[in-house]
Each structure stands twice: as structure tokens, then as C-alpha cells.
Amino acid sequence: MTLQIADRWFEFRRISDDITLIWEPHASRLMQCNIWHVRGRDRDLLIDTGFGVASLHEAARHLFDKPLSAVATHAHVDHVGSLHEFSDRIIHKAEAADIEVQGENFSLYRHDHPPEMIDSLERAGYQVGPTFITAIPHANFNMTLFTRKAAPATRTVDEGDVIDLGDRRFEVLHLPGHSAGSIGLWEAATATLFSGDAIYDGPLLDQLPGSDIPTYIRTMRRLESLPARVVHAGHDPSFDGRRLKELARAYLDRH
Ligand SMILES: [Zn+2]
Ligand SMILES: [Zn+2]
């Protein structure tokens, strides 16, 4: 199979004066993580960094005019691929070891992955195509030899820690279940939650290595009662507080 070379790898959408959404249109839906850039007075925040098959730092350099903290909501490859390109790297302590070292080879072909893993993703609601990307970022890109680079954390966080941008404060919510160290970033002043993969408006995954359903149930109870006005999630479109309650309730009803 020959994939086209993408014209550009990242797309940008200004959500408000100080929030920009960045995404990778040629990553398959499963692997298409939302990357959020938030402007602060003294420093900016980058929430997740995408797949890492192309340089996020280079593509988004027009946004990087201030000290920047890059936060990984968790260590899955579609969220931490470009983390190594940033000097200030934050992750929950439960997943710090995962990014300390280079990942194992991750082929971008479906047929190189265990059929049980693909089945479980499809049962959850994803259609997994023959490849995890639908175009290649540049000529000579090797689809079978792709590895997540090591990106050792420069700060680990846990429940209640604060990431301070000078005029905006984000509190770390530990939201395990999808993965052990999944976090959300909660800005109480604007009732905004950046939720990572703890919750999004799409097929939720709770059977991956590192997932835990009883733990996820506790996280969903917590999310159901969070007074959020807007949720910017790790995948799929943003939603409001009412939808947050619906999604959390739907998960709880299924379990
Ligand atoms: Zn994930
Ligand atoms: Zn994800």
C-alpha cells in the first residue's frame, strides 16, 4: 500500500483568544489526539503533544514565544510522541517511568499488532483501518520502524498540584482508569477541564494494558459531579457540563 505524502501534518484552530487546538488530520481517529495550547501571562501550557511522526515544535513554533510547560495527560503514544521536543515535561508520577525510556517499536500497520488488541479496539467502537496514519509526513518515512522517543519528566505531579501560568491556575485532577496516571487539568476560575483520555465524546477505552474498570468507575463518579462549563478532551470535539454528566452517567450505567 502506498500512502500519499501529507501537505502538512498539523492543523490549527483558534478556540478563543488564548486557546489553540492542534491536531493531526492524517492520524487515524484512534490515534488522533487533541493537542491544546493555552496562553498564560508568564508561561504557556501545551497539553499533550501528538503522535510524534512529525515535529510539533517546528510546525507550531509561531505559538512558542514564551516559556512553555508541556504536560502529558498520560503516557499513551498518541499523546506523548513529540514530548521529547520540549524542555519542560510534566506527567503524573504513576506514568513517569513510561516516558523515561524510548518506546518499543510501534509499527503503523494494523497487521503488525496482535489481533486481540485490534478486536478489543473494534469492540469498543473504533474502526481500525489497515494503517494508523492515512498519509505519511515525508518521503522515506518508515511505517514499520517507528518508536516513541524517550522524554524523561522534568516534573511529576499528583492530585491537587497546581500548574501556574501567572494569571491562570490549573489544578491537577488524578483521573485514573483509562490508564493509571491519567490526569485532567482543572481551571476553577473558568470551570474548564482539560480531560485527556479520562473522558471524551467517543469510544472510551478501559481494557488497555494499564486500564482498570473499578478505578475508572470511581473517576466517572467524580467527573459526573464536577461543575464544569466546558471540557476540552483528549479526542473528539469539546463539550459542555451537561454532556460531561451524560457521558459519565452512560459509563456508570454500562457498568
Ligand atoms: Zn490513551
Ligand atoms: Zn488517546
37-54 mean pLDDT: 98
Q: How far is the CA of 235 from the centre of ligand 2 (A)?
A: 6
| pLDDT(210) > 90 | yes
Burial of 217 (0-12, 13-18, 19+ CB in 10 A): middle
DSSP state for residue 209 in the 8-state scheme: T
Whether the model clears a pTM of 0.95, i.e. scores above it, the answer is: yes
- Ligand 1: centre distance to CA 170 (Å): 21
- 76 Cα to the center of ligand 2, angstroms: 6
| For residue 218, pLDDT beyond 80 | yes
Q: How far is the CA of 4 from the centre of ligand 2 (A)?
A: 24
Write out 89-118 in H/E/C secondary structure: EEEEHHHHHHHHCCCCCCCCEHHHCCHHHH
**Interval 240-251 mean pLDDT:** 98
Distance (Å, whole) CA 74 – CA 68: 18
Quickly state the pLDDT bin for 2 (edges 50, 70, 90).
confident
> If you measure from the C-alpha of residue 117 to the centroid of ligand 2, how many angstroms do you get, rounded to a whole number?
15
Residue ranges of alpha helices (H) inside the chain are 56-59, 77-80, 96-100, 115-124, 213-224, 241-254
**Angle at the Cα of 169 (from 166 to 171), degrees rounded to 5?**
150
What is the pLDDT, as a whole number, of residue 177? 98
- pLDDT value for 1: 66
How far apart are alpha carbons 185 and 32 in whole angstroms? Answer: 20
Pair 40, 19: CB distance under 8 Å: no
What spacing in Å lies between the alpha carbon of 224 and ligand 2's midpoint? 20
The rounded Å distance from CA 167 to ligand 2 centre is: 29
Spacing, Cα 39 to ligand 2 middle (Å): 23
Q: How far is the CA of 78 from the centre of ligand 1 (A)?
A: 7
CA distances (Å), origin 182, targets 15, 129, 179, 208, 210:
24, 26, 5, 13, 10
Task: Report how far ligand 2's centroid is from the alpha carbon of 236 (Å).
Answer: 10
Distance 55 CA to ligand 2 centre (A): 18
Question: How many beta carbons lie within 10 A of that of residue 135, not counting itself?
Answer: 16
From the CA atom positions of the chain, what is the Rg in Å?
A: 17
Nearest ligand to the C-alpha atom of residue 179: 1
7 to 20, 176, 194: CA distances (angstroms): 21, 37, 29
Nearest CA to 122 out of 247, 11, 30, 242 is that of: 30
CA distances to 126, 185, 230 from 238, in Å: 19, 14, 7
Q: For the segment 116-171, what is each residue's pLDDT rounded down to a tens digit?
A: 999 999 999 999 999 999 999 999 999 999 999 999 999 999 999 999 999 999 99
